[in-house]
Amino acid sequence: MAEFSCYICNKKVITGEKFTFTKSGAVHYDCFIHVRRKEVPEEKQAVLRQLAILLDVQLTYLLQVLQLKQSGIELEAIFAAYKNIEKECGETTRQISSL
Ligand SMILES: [Zn+2]
């Protein structure tokens, strides 16, 4: 896996950690949501919570598939779905960024 640093905490993203990409670059899931909770107006906090849960599920899914792949397990159908979930992660991240 390529090495990225989180633009919020400046630490390297370690394999197995949840992270996503925004316009500003790579960011840990936890750092991203923590900052957005402070920035997003009160009336949009409920939507932020829901999107944060969705992104968490999507990123957890991707990490699990990656781990299975490293185990050498042949699950072509699941690996084929990976790219779609990756795209969905990007979309969820965009929505969280624009709240
Ligand atoms: Zn971070």
Collapse the DSSP code of 27 into the 3-class scheme (helix H, G, I; strand E, B; otherwise coil) and give the result: strand
CA-CA distances (angstroms) from residue 96 to 64, 77, 81? 23, 29, 23
Cα-to-centroid distance, 73 and ligand 1 (Å): 31
Predicted pLDDT of residue 75 = 76
Predicted pLDDT of residue 83 = 87
- pLDDT digits over 2-51, tens only? 688 999 999 999 888 999 999 999 999 999 999 999 999 999 999 999 99
pTM: 0.89
Residues 36/98, Cβ–Cβ less than 8 Å? no
- Does residue 1 have a pLDDT over 60? no
For residues 18 and 88, give the distance between their C-alpha atoms in angstroms, rounded to a whole number: 15
For residues 90 and 29, give the distance between their C-alpha atoms in angstroms, rounded to a whole number: 12
Cα-to-centroid distance, 76 and ligand 1 (Å): 32
Cα-to-centroid distance, 65 and ligand 1 (Å): 22
Cα-to-centroid distance, 77 and ligand 1 (Å): 32
69: pLDDT confidence band, cut at 50, 70 and 90?
Answer: confident
